[in-house]
Amino acid sequence: MPTLLADLTTLRLGGPAARVVTAGSSQELTAAVRAADRAGDPVLVVAGGSNLVVADAGWPGTVVLLRCDVAPFTVRDDGDRVLVTVQPGAVWDDLVAASVENGWSGLAAMSGIPGTAGATPVQNVGAYGSEVADVLQSVSVLDRYGESGGRRGVVETWTPQRCAFGFRTSAFKHTDRYVVLEVTLALARASVSGPVRYLEVARRLGIEPGGTAPNRAVRETVLDLRRSKGMVLDAADHDTWSVGSFFVNPFVTAELVPEGCPNFTVDGGIKLPAGWLIENAGFARGYGLDRGRGTVAISTKHTLALTNRGGATTAELLALAAEIRVGVQERFGIRLRPEAHLAGVEL
């Protein structure tokens, strides 16, 4: 029986993989990708599958199934910091939990994010005012192609500057040229968090925005908040059969900010909440369920999550996404783009 991508993704969607190779370490990941490239085989690296939308037809080449069969991370002292080098297949939330237990600060606000460490630099994963770029020291990268006429399969160490991080994006995001092999994070030795910037988290912690709190309290608060929004994986809860936020919050110019829409100035641009745009374009939580669609719907807990209610296809999910995107563009003149990685399909 062929391996179905539906069994490897949190959406539980996607057809068969032509070939599957398991890699349990960064070295095995490098070898697997190099071998597929030498054979001229299309490569799809799958770890947690929590940000992946795969075609119903499946993947025609090699799926490298990333696991962690070695120590998930190593630690080096660096004065008042520790440098934590993490395997690509290490479960991200396990690392966050370990950082809290060990008295390292910088990750607690990113608790509960599904997936593995190797995926975090790709879209500059973040939540509640924190993102990986805040703590990233370096990334080990396999350059599959090289420059025109250059070598193939070269491993390099990248600085944060070279990663070109932005809001939910990086130099790795829209290309298959690079594979992240290891991530090194610089974490402060501290039992308290950095500034808590996100208003709802600060309010639940009983502090002013910009204040600090014990890392353990930040983690527990964030996990509770994520659960309330269906953003902590639960096989019994169809609201978590998703890729989290399907659309990324858009950046717009001042004249495109809708009346009444919350907006935030970030790095000289104006960021709008995609969830507000979707809801105010007429797509409420649970949209799809109330229209008899049945198989796919917006989460009943979070407007940004598009969910598989059981028995769905990728085509049905993308049809819902397209309907929402068209509705938002017609209502506000703003075109949403997907945050999820689309494999073998387009929106």
Residue of 28, 131, 316, 339 marked catalytic: 339
Chain center to CA of 218 = 20
Positive or negative, the Cα torsion across 314, 316, 321, 326? positive
Nearest to 209 by CA among 270, 266, 128: 128
Q: Is residue 147 annotated as part of the catalytic site, yes or no? A: no
Residue of 242, 245, 285, 299 marked catalytic: 245
Query: Token match 């396990």: residue?
Result: 94
In angstroms, what CA-CA distances link 321 with 32, 168, 284?
Answer: 33, 19, 13
Q: How many distinct helices (H) and strands (E) make up the chain?
A: 7, 18
Q: Is residue 168 annotated as part of the catalytic site, yes or no? A: yes
- Half-sphere exposure (CA, 13 Å, Cβ side) for 162? 10
Residue of 34, 162, 168, 197 marked catalytic: 168
CB count in 10 Å sphere of residue 216: 15
- DSSP E strand boundaries for the chain: 17-23, 43-46, 52-54, 59-66, 73-78, 81-86, 104-105, 126-127, 130-131, 136-143, 154-158, 178-189, 251-252, 264-266, 269-271, 296-298, 306-308, 341-343
Query: What are the residue numbers of the active site?
Result: 168, 245, 339
